[in-house]
Structure 1
């Protein structure tokens, strides 16, 4: 079994009660951090063994053993999305400016 090189941090945005989405997010983070399938199976089995898929808060308690969990409120979620939209708009505007040939 190969553990991740370091404990990854996951941001659970607007996932209150979405257990399947949370599991996918955590599994992806663990994989990207270097965990192998056996380690992922250990996490999944701990969730299933204790019927944690029936209680979101208990699922988060176990999940915190494997990853650092950062949760955002829906309001904060909207703020983060708007910041990302503005950043993308700014990047696109910069690309348009470069393509126009006015860059010195």
Structure 2
């Protein structure tokens, strides 16, 4: 909603953001959740699914990375993969919301809760 951004950014003009590509989503997810671009092989597929399911929304990636970063601290790689898979299913639930306003509301709420 550009008019809200203009009002909130006064006196500066707001930055116009674009939807990320799947490649940009995946890169941001790795940087945010793993603090590097290298990804353990056992997380590669589920991580790419999460990135794809974020549908180009950087806010979604940043919110989810906070959850994934906590899950990545577990010692057992199988446990970490299962935690990421669980997060992946929840991402899909949040993003399956047809109403884009409700979808963003869910992510903003999740961001606030975290």
TM-score range for the pair, normalised by the shorter chain length = 0.3 to 0.5
Q: Which has the higher helix share?
A: 2
Q: Which has the higher contact order (CA 8 A, sep 6+)?
A: 1
Q: TM-score, normalised by structure 1?
A: 0.33
Greater C-alpha radius of gyration: 1
